[in-house]
């Protein structure tokens, strides 16, 4: 009787462990998918941030001399239940200005060109979103590479360098 | 004693049988979820690379070849804003058409297929199986109001045993005019 009870217990234990381990693997896969999408969201936030700055500020990116790249990074915070900011991830932007030239904007007549230089050519923008704790390797990362026509302000090419 | 053992064995066999049924159902559910998630992710990642939209039913768009040279191969060392710089990948600086057509379409055998044509090369891959319905809506109305022409709502409905489950994603395509 005791042996039967022990065998039954062992069988139930094996069934329970099997069920729990399969659920655990599913939860891990689901969490990885969510974090991959969050990283993509951060990369898209980087693009929206860079596009806004380029569209509103004639002196952005502030490159001087022979410098042909400008990069910056922003931390992104979430709120916990108490409303306190919690570090969530980062996004970074690298703007390649090798294909950008500056020329005087056209005035109302050919004889009175504007005194303002405007960018002509293409911005090559790399936007990266990273999810994870500060100081630790990112749990998820996504990179978008965008080519923007500086005159028409249209995206002529977007390449998603990584996916799930 | 024998009767009691028989009852216990019967209950154990029922327990094992029901557990297996539950595991199979969970596995099926998980597979549907993964298939839909991966299919939508793959589709949206590629659709966001679009530079021109041909149609939403079937979803057909133009994108730039991944191996195309950066900035249309315009001469980076040219000092002045050259008037002859190319601005569209349909004809880069060398005169090569670097664009291709991608079509996502639901087939009659419940699969979502991706057909790609670059120059003379064509190939087809299966993105998701057990697809019940696939709908792409341009400029959808959302809770925050009417969206622009470069915003799309994609609904992928999957068949899971006796029920259909819809997965929806909303995305912006930066290369299309708002």
Across the interface, which of B8, B15, B89 has its CB nearest the CB of A156? Answer: B89
Question: How far is the alpha carbon of B51 from chain A, nearest alpha carbon, in Å?
Answer: 6
SS3 string, chain A, reads: CHHHHHHHHHHHHHHHHHHHHHHHHHHHHHHHHHHHHHHHHHHHHHHHHHHHHHHHCCCCCCCCCCCCEEEEEEEEEEECCCCCEEEEEEEEEEEECCCEEEEECCCCCCCCCCCCEEEEEEEEEEEEEEECCCCCCCCEEEEEEEEEECCCCCEEEEEECCCC
Ranked by mean pLDDT, the top range of A102-106, A136-140, B37-41, B48-52 is B48-52
Residue in B closest to A159 by C-alpha: B49
Model pLDDT for residues B110-148, shown as the tens digit of each residue? 899 999 998 888 999 998 888 999 999 999 998 888 999
- The closest CB to that of B71, out of A40, A147, A159, belongs to A147
B 40-69 residues with CB < 8 A to A = 41-42, 45-46, 48-49, 51, 64, 66, 68
Instruction: Report the number of distinct structural domains present in chain A.
Output: 1
User: Closest Cα partner for B89 from B107, B76, B71?
Assistant: B71
Which pLDDT score is estimated for B114? 94
- Segments making up each domain of chain B, as ranges: 28-67+87-172
Instruction: Identify all chain B residues contacting A122, using CB atoms and an 8 Å cutoff.
Output: 71-72, 74
pLDDT at B22: 81
Which residues on neighbouring strands pair with residue A121, listed in sequence order?
A100
Q: Are B8 and A149 within 8 A, CB to CB?
A: no
Interatomic CA distance for residues B139 and B144, integer angstroms: 12
Residue B64 is predicted with a pLDDT of 94
Give the pLDDT band (50/70/90) at residue A164. very low
pLDDT at A120 (0 to 100) = 84
Domain that holds residue A37: 2-160
| A66-to-A150, B109, B113 alpha-carbon distances in Å | 20, 58, 48
Q: Are residues A124 and B5, on separate chains, in Cβ contact within 8 Å?
A: no
- Give this prediction's pTM: 0.83
Contact list, A33 vs chain B (CB under 8 Å)? 37, 41
B79 neighbourhood in chain A, CB within 8 Å: 101
Does B25 reach chain A within 8 Å, measured CB to CB? no
Q: Which of A23, A36, A156 sits opposite B51 (nearest CB)?
A: A156
Chain A: residue whose CA lies nearest to B39: A164
């Amino acid at each position: 009787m005791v042996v039967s009870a022990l065998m039954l217990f062992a069988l139930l234990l094996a069934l329970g462990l099997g069920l729990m381990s399969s659920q655990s693997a599913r939860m891990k896969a689901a969490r990885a998918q969510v974090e991959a999408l969050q990283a993509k969201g951060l990369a898209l936030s980087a693009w929206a941030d860079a596009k806004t700055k380029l569209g509103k500020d004639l002196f952005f990116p502030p490159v001087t001399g022979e410098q042909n790249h400008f990069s910056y990074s922003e931390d992104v915070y979430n709120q916990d239940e108490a409303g306190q900011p919690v570090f969530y991830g980062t996004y970074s932007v690298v703007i390649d200005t090798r294909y950008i030239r500056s020329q005087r904007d056209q005035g109302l007549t050919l004889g009175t060109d504007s005194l303002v230089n405007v960018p002509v050519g293409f911005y090559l923008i790399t936007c990266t979103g990273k999810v994870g704790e500060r100081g630790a390797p990112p749990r998820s990362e996504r990179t978008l590479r965008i080519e923007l026509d500086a005159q028409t302000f249209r995206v002529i090419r977007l390449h998603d360098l990584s996916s799930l | 004693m024998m009767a009691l053992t028989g009852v216990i064995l019967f209950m154990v066999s029922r327990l094992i049988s029901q557990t297996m049924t539950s595991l199979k159902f969970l596995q099926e559910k998980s597979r549907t979820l993964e298939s839909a998630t991966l299919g939508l992710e793959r589709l949206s990642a590629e659709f966001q690379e679009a530079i021109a939209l041909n149609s939403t039913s079937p979803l057909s768009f133009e994108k730039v070849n991944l191996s195309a040279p950066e900035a249309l191969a315009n001469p980076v060392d040219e000092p002045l804003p050259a008037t002859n710089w190319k601005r569209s990948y349909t004809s880069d600086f060398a005169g090569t058409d670097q664009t291709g057509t991608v079509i996502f379409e639901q087939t009659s055998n419940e699969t979502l297929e991706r057909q790609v044509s670059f120059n003379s090369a064509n190939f087809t891959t299966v993105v998701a199986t057990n697809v019940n319905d696939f709908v792409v809506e341009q400029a959808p109305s959302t809770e925050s109001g009417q969206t622009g022409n470069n915003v799309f709502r994609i609904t992928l409905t999957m068949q899971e045993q006796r029920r259909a489950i819809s997965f929806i994603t909303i995305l912006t395509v930066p290369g299309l005019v708002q």
